[in-house]
Structure 1
Amino acid sequence: MIYYVGNIGREYSSSNVNSNFGFDNKDKNLIISKNDHIAYRYQVLSKLGTGAFGNVYRCYDHKMNKMVSLKIMRNDPAWSLQSMYEIKILKRLHQEPKHLLQYLGHLNFRSHICVSTELLSVNLIEALGATKYQGFELSVIKLWSQQLLSALEFLHRSDIVHADLKPENIMLQSPNSFNLKIIDFGSSTTVGDITYPYIQSRFYRAPEVLLGARYDTKIDIWSFATVIYEMYTGKVMFEAKNETHLYKLFVELLGNPPPRTVLSMRETVLKNGSVNKYNDGNFVDKSTLLFTSFSKVGVYRGEPLDTSKCVTPFHKRLNLGDLQFADFIQTILVWNPKERPSAKKLLQHMFLEEQ
């Protein structure tokens, strides 16, 4: 069915196989101009963003008569495969449409997987910029905490790990609302199919991922705490330049990881294998920090790091005036993910009970 024709008269090369017969640029992204059609249904209006996966466009869906966001993947087998996995995850989110991105459909156009989702407003980095990085009031932080934790509770109850929770992947539903939606499930996985050893953006990366331990849904809880702190203070909690610097920042705030935690993580890896793309339970990666930076009894054996800040009350370490909020963050920021509360338990924290 033809719903929209768009630009006509453009010439393509029927002989240039390397550029997908002239449809793709050198990066294997689909060449698109304003008002082009996608599958004679979507009218391209503007570009919303770009990434390693491809590009995202603001489009008008002439079949459904509504504005949508259209993610057009690179013409690459690896990215096409990953996009199909993301679609599989998105289809499972329909039961919780309130604070998770709404999937509308997908198609293959000129060898590019295209994923249609609801059109949202700005992400939290852009929203924070509008405050000149002064942060939001505590009442907004409480509201957003409830919304994000409700979404994470649904994801984790469904055994889904988002694995890349950060301000850029959380968007306001509309310019006139404080309602949030979690987006971008390109890195997401299910608990029984974890095969990416190194995930999450560095500023929001959990300790177990940094150390090279096995991980689960609790990495999202760690990321949540760092995001919500940033939205309140306007500052990144762990603004690390590299992995070594990130570990140093963790220790300065939390102290060294307890030896029993290190040994427990190491024992789990030795028993079940390191996280790896082949899901091989016999593979143990001994090049990770978990094996190279700690002794046989779980003590850090690198240069001594400054832990003097750890003797001061936690709310003073993070310059948080509200004690309940400080306690809320402190309960999450622990080395041992087994001791980190779930989204369901955090929703019952006294910090959110007053909302």
Structure 2
Amino acid sequence: MSLSKLRFRLSNIFGASRLAPLKSANSRQIIEEPNFYEPGGFHHVSLGDRLSGKYTVLRKLGYGQYSTVWLAKDSQHQRYVALKILRADCYGGPRDIFEKEVLSKIALVSKSSTHEGRRHVSPLLDQFRHTGPNGNHVCFVFDVQGHHMDFQAAKYEDGKLPLQSVRTIARQLLLGLDFLHRECGVIHTDLKPTNILLELDNADSVISRYLSEVPPRMDSERDPPVPLREVITTPLLSEIKEPRIQIIDFGVASWRHHHLSELIQSPALRAPEVTIGAPWDTPVDIWSLGCLIVEFVQGFVLFSGKASKNGTWTAEDDRVARIMEILGPFPSSFLHRGTRTAELFDEKGNLHRIPDLKRTSLERLLNGTTKPFLKPVDMSDAEVPVFIDFIRGMLQIDPQLRKSAADLLEHKWLKL
């Protein structure tokens, strides 16, 4: 079967979410961050700008709903850094977040901790405030990282990452989450491929070479031209002997006992308890991780959702139906905890708008007996049940049945 036909069949079954190849981040982009360049919004940044007296902006690295990120040179320490500039309304306005407090707590705990997971959480190097025409902006300084996991997956024709690399990344992610959950009391709430970055080996020399060989990407159609996002060249996972990852972006992170918001996580990675409005804690990160590892190994999004064309069901209905088709019904004891249960389910635990489900199973889905999904070529028959058991420890509908990061770190699959 051709790749295009396979992706067509995948999109029909699992939705189109991230099945299409990701275009190179260094290709022409028409639209980047939202146009929040107004009072309370983004700070206008130009290449060559100098912030806090020592950070000279060199390139644009990224953007989000609440910030832009820039490659800068730190003249005090003679190193390259990633400079994240928040919207002015993130602090002292209607959009107060916990990022500054969470990053400060992680940095403080890291100083005295011996937990291995602290090395897989992007460390805060510095923070300061910058006043511009649109307001007062909180700024964070981090190490510069390489590709995120979506970018790496797009480099492989079938979207599947090398199995041994996934095993290494899974262990490092669990270490990072265990450190955040147990030592910092922090829930990331937004674990996704773009928030998992590869470390750069010999970062300063790699970045210096990149800057000397690659001219800045600029939107020359605007007057004056504005910088466009770039990605520092990073080897393929299969070419990295010992890949190391960093968990980044705590912009929507929450404390375990003080939540920023009750609606968290990307829809395709959203835990069942969040969907039904039940109490949630660190297991939401474990659910997202389980979904991600399946995505890294199999090359498709496990629980994407797509609304029906005639409006019979919503994308959320479809996503919940897919969870039930693979993992089984939502337990009644679990449904009773949710404030939104009645919106989705009837008294018998059936979905209101999608009553007829085509039952499959995680085993059938992952071991290739449900086509068009195929067992990874680098996974032996003996490894399949071990891998499925590992995934089942994360993908339990009831969060009370999910294993903790510490427990999962002892799993056999990580030691194969």
Which bin holds the TM-score, normalised by the shorter protein?
A: 0.7 to 0.9
1:167 match: 193
Give the CA deviation at 1:80.
Answer: 5.8
Confirm or deny: 8 A CA contact 1:83 1:113 kept in the other structure. no
Q: What whole-Å deviation, never above 9, does each CA across 1:98-135 have from its counterpart, x for those lacking one?
A: 11101101001112111001111111011111113431
CA gap of 1:209–1:157, structure 2 versus 1, over 3 A, is same
CA RMSD of aligned residues (A): 2.3
Confirm or deny: 8 A CA contact 1:161 1:220 kept in the other structure. yes
Q: Say if 2:221 is the partner of 1:209.
A: no
Distance 2:391 2:245 in 1: 20
**2:195 counterpart letter in structure 1:** N
Q: 3-state DSSP class of the match of 1:193?
A: coil
Confirm or deny: 8 A CA contact 1:205 1:223 kept in the other structure. yes
2:119 match: 98
CA gap of 1:90–1:70, structure 2 versus 1, over 3 A, is farther
Residue of 45, 51, 57 corresponding to 2:70: 57
2:296 match: 231
**1:258 counterpart letter in structure 2:** P
2:222 match: none
Distance 1:125 1:117 in 2: 21
Distance 2:401 2:120 in 1: 26
Give the CA deviation at 1:39.
Answer: 1.9
2:325 match: 252
CA gap of 1:192–1:37, structure 2 versus 1, over 3 A, is same
Q: Moved runs in structure 1, 4+ residues, more than 6 A?
A: none
Give the CA deviation at 1:261.
Answer: 2.4
Give the CA deviation at 1:97.
Answer: 3.5
Identity of aligned residues (%): 28
Q: 3-state DSSP class of the match of 2:88?
A: coil
Give the CA deviation at 1:79.
Answer: 4.5
Distance 2:57 2:362 in 1: 56
CA gap of 1:61–1:85, structure 2 versus 1, over 3 A, is same
Confirm or deny: 8 A CA contact 1:334 1:340 kept in the other structure. yes
CA gap of 1:173–1:230, structure 2 versus 1, over 3 A, is same
**1:108 counterpart letter in structure 2:** R
Distance 1:343 1:315 in 2: 22
TM-score by length of 1: 0.80
Q: Say if 2:344 is the partner of 1:293.
A: yes
Q: Say if 2:43 is the partner of 1:30.
A: yes
Distance 1:35 1:214 in 2: 47
Distance 1:253 1:220 in 2: 20
Q: What whole-Å deviation, never above 9, does each CA across 1:49-72 have from its counterpart, x for those lacking one?
A: 111112100111111110000000
Q: Say if 2:215 is the partner of 1:189.
A: no
Give the CA deviation at 1:162.
Answer: 0.6
Give the CA deviation at 1:211.
Answer: 1.1
Runs of 5+ in structure 1 lacking a partner? 1-23, 267-285
Q: 3-state DSSP class of the match of 2:279?
A: coil
Distance 1:26 1:344 in 2: 45
Confirm or deny: 8 A CA contact 2:268 2:301 kept in the other structure. yes
2:14 match: none
Runs of 5+ in structure 2 lacking a partner? 1-35, 201-233, 307-314, 377-383
Q: Say if 2:244 is the partner of 1:179.
A: yes
Aligned length in residues: 309
Q: Say if 2:129 is the partner of 1:108.
A: yes
Residue of 378, 381, 404 corresponding to 1:342: 404
1:75 match: 88
TM-score by length of 2: 0.69
